[in-house]
């Protein structure tokens, strides 16, 4: 169970998006848990010359980790247009450790995931370094990218062919190849639809895909539907497609 934000920006990076995620990581409610917060690690990935790189990652909580402030300083040095994905983890499987932190980088592809895929042990060419179903999902997507070439095609293949028969709490996904940001939303229980949310904020100079906010986003806000795949180009063009 996690919280994520993905941002495509053509001007200075909107740092409020990451400060907001840090606050969510501290006080956001996790279904079925008395203690608030998403405190089991964090990661931030962006792209330089089309290649993904970690700006920061840690097994500690965002709001308690001084290295998160250092990462924010590095984020301000990013040259637009580019894409950033940030993730705050509340562990459902696997310890709070670097190998289990999202987003995951598999060659040139980045993936963050919210939800739990049960009994998910796909055969992949790459070996996992951690213990999570989310990392195995990233490795499977990497394999499918090798086969199909395009991230959108690979994502659709994994969602429709590999995950359709799997039991899961949710499949809320952010993924990018540096050219586009993709978001997908699905969930099992209607009473937890608000937690497994994904929204689109179209703002001046950026588009964000986010799950929860305390600051409130500018511009036009819309919700990604259950079974919908969204893409955001580097020119901030948003496209939407129902998969289910």
pLDDT tens column, 81-97: 999 999 999 887 778 89
Q: Name the phi and psi angles at 175, rounded to 5.
A: -145, 150
| Res. 197 pLDDT band, cuts 50 70 90 | very high
pLDDT at position 6 is 98
Q: In sequence order, which residues have a C-beta less than 8 Å from that of residue 209 and are 6 or more positions away?
A: 4, 5, 6, 7, 174, 181, 183, 198, 199, 200, 201, 224, 230, 232
In a domain? residue 203: yes
Whether residue 33 has pLDDT greater than 90: no
In a domain? residue 163: no
Q: For the chain, how many structural domains are there in total?
A: 1
In a domain? residue 57: yes
Which structure tokens are listed for 10? 């053509």
Task: Give Cα separations from 186 to 69, 93, 219 (angstroms).
Answer: 32, 19, 25
Q: Name the phi and psi angles at 98, rounded to 5.
A: -55, -45
Q: Which domain holds residue 19?
A: 2-113+169-242
On the CB side of 22, how many CA atoms lie within 13 Å of its CA?
A: 17
| pTM > 0.75 | yes
Mark out the alpha helices in 31-161 (DSSP H runs).
Answer: 66-75, 133-148, 151-157
| Mean pLDDT computed over 66-76 | 96
In a domain? residue 192: yes
In a domain? residue 191: yes
6: nearest Cα among 215, 235, 221, 209: 209
Of the two residues 10 and 63, the one the predictor is more confident about is: 10
CB atoms within 10 A of CB 129: 13
pLDDT at position 244 is 86
């Amino acid at each position: 169970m996690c919280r994520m934000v993905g941002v495509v920006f053509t001007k200075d990076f909107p740092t409020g998006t990451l400060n907001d995620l840090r606050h969510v990581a501290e006080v956001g409610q996790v279904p079925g848990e008395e203690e608030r917060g998403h405190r089991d690690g964090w990661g931030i990935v962006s792209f330089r010359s089309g290649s993904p790189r970690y700006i920061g990652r840690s097994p500690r909580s965002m709001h308690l980790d001084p290295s998160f402030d250092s990462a924010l300083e590095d984020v301000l040095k990013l040259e637009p247009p580019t894409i950033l994905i940030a993730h705050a983890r509340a562990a459902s499987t696997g310890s709070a450790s670097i190998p289990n932190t999202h987003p995951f980088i598999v060659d040139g592809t980045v993936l963050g995931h919210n939800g739990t895929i049960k009994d998910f042990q796909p055969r992949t060419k790459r070996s996992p370094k951690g213990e999570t179903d989310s990392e195995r999902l990233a490795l499977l997507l990497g394999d499918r990218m090798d086969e199909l070439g395009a991230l959108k095609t690979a994502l659709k293949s994994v969602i429709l062919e590999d995950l359709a028969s799997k039991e899961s709490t949710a499949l809320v996904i952010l993924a990018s190849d540096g050219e586009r940001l993709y978001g997908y939303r699905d969930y099992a229980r209607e009473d937890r639809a608000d937690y497994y949310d994904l929204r689109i904020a179209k703002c001046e100079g950026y588009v964000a895909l986010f799950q929860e906010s305390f600051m409130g986003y500018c511009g036009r806000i819309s919700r990604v539907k259950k079974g919908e795949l969204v893409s955001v180009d580097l020119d901030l063009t948003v496209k939407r497609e129902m998969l289910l």
